[in-house]
Amino acid sequence: MKTVSTLFLFLLISCFSNVNAQGDYPYDFSHFQEEYADLENPVVLTDDYWDDFDELIYEFPLGFEFTFFDHIMTSIFLGDPFAEALYVQTGGLEEYNIMLPYTGDLISRYDNSGNIISQIGYLVEGEPGSRVLKGEFKNIGFYNDDDGTNFANFQFWLHESDGAIEFRYGPSNITLPLDYLFDDLPGPYVGLLNGYLYDGEEFGDMYMLSGDAADPTYAYYDGSTGEEPPALEGQPADGTVYRFGPVIINSVEETITNPVSIKVYPTITRNELN
């Protein structure tokens, strides 16, 4: 009888990695100046009289998929029940994600002849992969302005290429006190809301701008507490751009501290050959 000893080598390779989380906010905020331009030949959603959009809903179709927080959408909506806020319905029937480019008690304006001079419209520009939805609020007035001379212009841009959200501000004429136009606030609400529950009136996660409109503070507020977030202080100047860029988190960023650690374990087996 012949005994054959066979040595099997089992290799155990251990790699060590570190997880690097890049902040708690889903969007980074920046602001800069860029010349404001009216949209050329936009698709007009409304040039009629409106006030708070009671029972009115307008759709801005993107023509591409866009991720807003963790929800993929192809359209965003304006109107009832959120007045001038932009919204998209998410998981539940009463759950929404919301953009606030410029909120106040806004209203359409008309001239001395009774003609409406406010307009809401949009364009989709660019080639596939780099398209931009541009929504526009043109010559928008304020409910508390009795003579109709105060107005604002602003746009929101949604970028297909990187998922960025931009709020852009144009010429305005603000002669009345801001706390009068904005119902005791120092300016408009501007920010992003994730997971607003309409029935429960819970605002979810709120990422808001406050302080000086020329150099605002970007901060998180827990909407479930019922605490009202601060508003901007002042009117954004002509050419101001507020940009919210998605934070890209690498789930695992490998830092190999000991690239390959090999351990050898001998195992003896005996095969009997006749």
Which tens digit of pLDDT belongs to each residue from 179-237? 999 999 999 999 999 988 876 567 789 999 999 999 999 999 987 777 788 899 999 99
Count the domains in the chain: 2
161 and 133 within one domain? yes
Give yes or no for residue 2 having a pLDDT over 60: no
Residues 186 and 80 occupy one common structural domain: yes
161 and 135 assigned to the same domain: yes
Same domain for 79 and 129, yes or no, is yes
pLDDT confidence band for 249 (50 / 70 / 90): low
- Is there a single domain that holds both residue 266 and residue 174? no
Distance, CA of 250 to CA of 102 (rounded, Å): 33
Region of poorest pLDDT, from 21-30, 92-101, 140-149, 264-273? 264-273
Shared domain for 266 and 175, answered yes or no, is no
Percentage of residues in the chain having pLDDT higher than 90 = 59
SS3 readout for 140-192: EEECCCCCCCCEEEEEEEEECCCCCEEEEECCCECCCCHHHHCCCCCCCEEEE
Look at residue 53 in the predicted model and tell me its pLDDT.
80
Instruction: For residues 141 and 214, state if they share a domain.
Output: yes
42 with 2, same domain?
no
Tell me how crowded residue 225 is: count the other CB atoms within 10 A of its CB: 9
Q: Work out the pLDDT band at 1, boundaries 50, 70, 90.
A: very low
* Residues 49 and 122 placed together within one structural domain of the fold: yes
Same domain, 40 and 175: yes
pLDDT at 10 over 50: no
Tell me the C-alpha distance between 93 and 233, whole Å: 34
Q: Mean pLDDT over residues 155-172, rounded? A: 98
pLDDT recorded at residue 88: 92
Q: What is the spatial distance between Cα 194 and Cα 68, in angstroms, rounded to a whole number?
A: 9
Average pLDDT, the chain: 82
Q: Which of 103, 129, 108, 105 is nearest to 120 (CA)?
A: 108
Token duo for residue 231:
């508003």
According to the model, what pLDDT value does residue 201 have? 66
Task: Give the residue numbers spanning the domain of 62.
Answer: 21-249
pLDDT value, residue 269: 41
The HSE-up count of residue 159 (CA atoms within 13 Å, CB side) is: 11
Q: Are residues 199 and 120 in the same domain?
A: yes
Q: Smallest Cα–Cα separation from 30: which of 240, 204, 239?
A: 240
pTM for this structure? 0.81
Do 174 and 261 lie in one domain? The reply is no
